[in-house]
Structure 1
């Protein structure tokens, strides 16, 4: 299930690493998206 969600996230959510976003300057919603993507990605790799 997490693998499917990770693939959907890859298509629809922005990639901040490609934009070279500095985490110290990131807004709260950008940090929330980064945290969410991290959570889903780690769960997808575990299963």
Structure 2
């Protein structure tokens, strides 16, 4: 049940939240809000696998 929830969240993230790697964002120069989005996407992806 929980894994299905994270899989749905991962699909929503992919549609709504921007992907910074395609834009060539340097992690060391990322702003705090960008780091928060990266952290959220990592958390959801890790739990959906």
Tell me whether the two structures share a fold, i.e. TM-score over 0.5: yes
Superposition deviation, residue 15 in structure 1: 0.2
Instruction: Give the aligned partner of residue 41 of structure 1.
Output: 45
| Count of matched residue positions in the alignment of Structure 1 and Structure 2 | 45
**Structure 1 stretches (4+) deviating beyond 3 angstroms?**
none
Instruction: Give the aligned partner of residue 13 of structure 1.
Output: 17
**TM-score (normalised: structure 2):** 0.90
Cα distance in structure 2, aligned partners of 1:5 and 1:24: 26
Uncovered stretches (5+) of structure 2, i.e. residues with no partner:
none
- Alignment RMSD (CA, Å): 0.3
